[in-house]
Structure 1
Amino acid sequence: MSEMHKFLFEGLPVRGMLVRLTEGWQEVLKRRREAGDEFPEPVRRLMGEMAAAGVLMQSNISFNGAIVLQVFGDGPVKLAVAEVQSDLAFRVTAKVVGDVPDDAQLEALVNVKGGGRCSITLDPQGRVPGQQPYQGVVALHGDQREPLQKLSEVLEHYMLQSEQLDTKLIVAADDNIAAGLLIQRLPVEGSRNLGTASNEDEIGINEGYNRIAHLAATLTSEELLTLDADTVLRRLFWEEDVRRFEPAMPRFACTCSRDRVSDMLRNLGQEEVDSIIEEQSKVEVGCDFCGRQYVFDPIDAGELFVPARDQPPGSTSLN
């Protein structure tokens, strides 16, 4: 069962989250296989890490809308996307062009010539016309311009730049589970805000966060993927006073629909759609996230460009 655990360290401005995606992550890979789109193992691993990281980031800020995590660049993985809704429903996909080395890490996947980027988009629910989503973009290198080799390092760098909050992130994935651990230093409230905290307070806060982050960094990928949440937290923080909250249940869900595909085809234009019908006798659109196929025969396609009040009874084929 997929689980998302939140916890706080009593007496310290430090919070943590641990996510384990099981059935939902396996469903993602199953649907891609059924659609005839088996991703290479390094790409599957990257997708799983992004799904886990996206769920952690959504849980971290509790955003009323979708968080969209994208990695794109100049390697064989042209684009990888993870989207997480406010109820922790997630979906993830990738576009691969060319061969992927068996042992490829992040640099070999998307940052071969240094052109890789990572973007995080916050798309509010019920966005009004003209309202733009917030997007932040960072390059896949650190402050000293050295290439970052792990997705976790990229996101740590992003959160430090965008939120000015120290963060430790560990993510891992295989074909059975995608998991992640996030530790973050919280903003200090009241008289202990930045600029007003005493040196002694600041030293104590830093030492507390650094200790927790160091303990988190000892967690291996194998442990993260094989141990249950209770065991992980007990092994890492057995000397700490940890307050845990009721776990949430992330799940795979795709937001694609026939109406959305219809809108996309209308934006494409009648001339283009008619040319596809003439060439293929139908328009078939597959969802990159879930593999679902939407089929429009000539009658369906024609109805796309007829006002609803003038439409005759037509076909609604869906495969």
Structure 2
Amino acid sequence: MSDYLVKALACDGNIRAYAVRTTETIREAQERHQTWRTASAALGRTLTAGVMMGAMLKGEDKLTIKINGGGPLGPIVVDSNAKGEVRGYVTNPEVDFESNEHGKLDVRRAVGTDGMLAVVKDIGLRDFFSGQVPLVSGELGEDFTYYFATSEQVPSSVGVGVLVNPDDTILAAGGFIFQLMPGTPESVISQVEERLNTIPPVSKLIEKGLTPEEILAELFGKEQVKILEKMPVQFACNCSKDRFANAIIGLGKAEIDAMIEEDGQAEAHCHFCNEKYLFTKEELEEMKKEAK
């Protein structure tokens, strides 16, 4: 099954909801960055939240999430857009611990709790929208829930999960976000809170094979969900050799000369997708002609 996301309304239009399957997306991220189990869970949860937040945007809008909790993972950085494309990395991919007291991957210990979750949105205006909140959990789902309530003033619930096999490969991943519309009756809020306390974790729902539509049906009841849109989701990076070449040209002749003299070549590395681009001496000589 390919990864995809659904947008929906629930409970007579009182709730805006998103649900997504990201198993293949997180699998590609793990393979590209060779993340260990706990690092995979942290990166996968952030990518999953990121792709849903991107789906809240329009057109060419995009956003960047940065989480730095002071833990051994270092900063997590994720980019996403309104087209279902997401990319990201953890600073230290080789992080793993014994399971926590609940028998789950210890994401909190890897991420840390002494730091911030920051979101920067580029919605085509001169100034970017940015918001940040202190980490309250380090488990990330609760941290994104707190971000929406505090920074965007939208009561929300965020569930993100990644199941990782013992050999570091990804078994299942996905998540949901739902947000209360203004004026939602207390009876609806109580009903949803009660349901949240009884359903299994979202990763378990995905492991059982539930689709995004079925996850929302678990949350609200099938008859209470109206699907508005379905969109494909994928790990995608916009880096290219040409982009890096233009960046090197922008460094100027002296810098390119230094590369030629010191190494006889240059290698560029994209943090987001881990691709490497090699520039030969001949290519650098040609680029130097374009440089100032």
TM-score by length of 2: 0.83
Whether 1:281 and 2:261 are equivalent positions in the alignment is no
Kindly report which structure 2 residues correspond to 1:1-319, keeping only aligned pairs within 5 A, or say none: 1-32=2-33, 38-62=34-58, 64-96=60-92, 100-103=96-99, 105-111=106-112, 114=114, 116-125=115-124, 131-141=126-136, 148-174=137-163, 175-188=170-183, 205-217=185-197, 218-220=199-201, 221-229=203-211, 230-238=213-221, 241-307=224-290
Cα distance in 2 for residues equivalent to 1:209 and 1:49: 25
Distance, in Å, in 1 between the alignment partners of 2:265 and 2:38 is 35
Q: Gaps (5+ residues) in structure 1?
A: 33-37, 142-147, 189-203, 311-319
In 2, Cα distance between equivalents of 1:92 and 1:258: 19
Write the deviation string for residues 252-306 of structure 1: whole angstroms up to 9, x where unpaired.
Answer: 2111012321233245454444333333321011222223221111222233332
One-letter code aligned to 1:180: G
Kept in 2, the 8 Å contact 1:2–1:23? The answer is: yes
CA change 1:4–1:213 in 2 (3 A) is farther
Higher mean Cα deviation, 38-47 or 222-231?
A: 222-231
**Separation of aligned partners in 1, 2:53 and 2:7:** 12
Determine the C-alpha separation between the residues in 2 that align with 1:260 and 1:184. 38
Alpha-carbon contact 1:183-1:216 (below 8 Å) kept: no
The SS at the match of 2:151 is helix
Deviation of 1:63 (Å): 6.3
In 2, Cα distance between equivalents of 1:4 and 1:283 = 40
Distance 1:111 1:28, change over 3 A: closer
Q: Which runs of 4+ in 1 moved over 6 A?
A: none
Give the superposed CA RMSD: 2.6
Counterpart CA distance in 1 for 2:17 and 2:93 is: 37
**Matched-pair contact (CA < 8 Å) for 2:11–2:220:** no
TM-score, normalised relative to structure 1: 0.77
Shift of 1:215: 1.5
1:160 offset after TM fit, Å?
0.6
Taking a change above 3 Å as real, the CA distance of residues 87 and 40 of structure 1, as seen in their structure-2 partners, is same
Q: Call closer, same or farther: CA 1:99–1:18 in 2, change over 3 Å.
A: closer
Q: How many residues align?
A: 277
- What displacement does 1:110 show? 3.2
Q: Which residue identity lines up with residue 121 of structure 1 in the other structure?
A: V
Quote the sequence identity (%).
Answer: 23
CA distance in 2, matches of 1:227, 1:99: 28
C-alpha distance in 2 between matches for 1:124 and 1:261:
25
Q: Distance in 2 between matches of 1:4 and 1:182?
A: 11
1:206 and 1:259, CA in 2 relative to 1: closer, same or farther beyond 3 A?
farther
- Equivalent-residue separation in structure 1 for 2:83 and 2:193 (angstroms): 28
Are the equivalent residues in 2 in contact too, given 1:169–1:180 (CA < 8 A)? yes
Q: Secondary structure at the match of 2:12?
A: coil
Distance change (3 Å), C-alpha of 1:102 and 1:271 = farther
Instruction: Describe the SS at the equivalent of 1:170.
Output: strand
Shift of 1:12: 4.6
> In structure 2, do the counterparts of structure 1 residues 247 and 166 end up closer, same or farther at CA, with 3 Å as the change threshold?
same
User: Post-superposition shift, 1:119?
Assistant: 0.9
Q: For the residues of structure 1 that align with 2:18 and 2:42, how far apart are their CA atoms?
A: 20
**SS at the partner of 1:305?**
helix
Distance 1:133 1:269 in 2: 29
Q: Rg: which structure is higher?
A: 1
Going from structure 1 to structure 2, the CA distance change for 1:60 and 1:214 (only over 3 Å counts) comes to: farther
Q: Distance in 2 between matches of 1:167 and 1:303?
A: 53
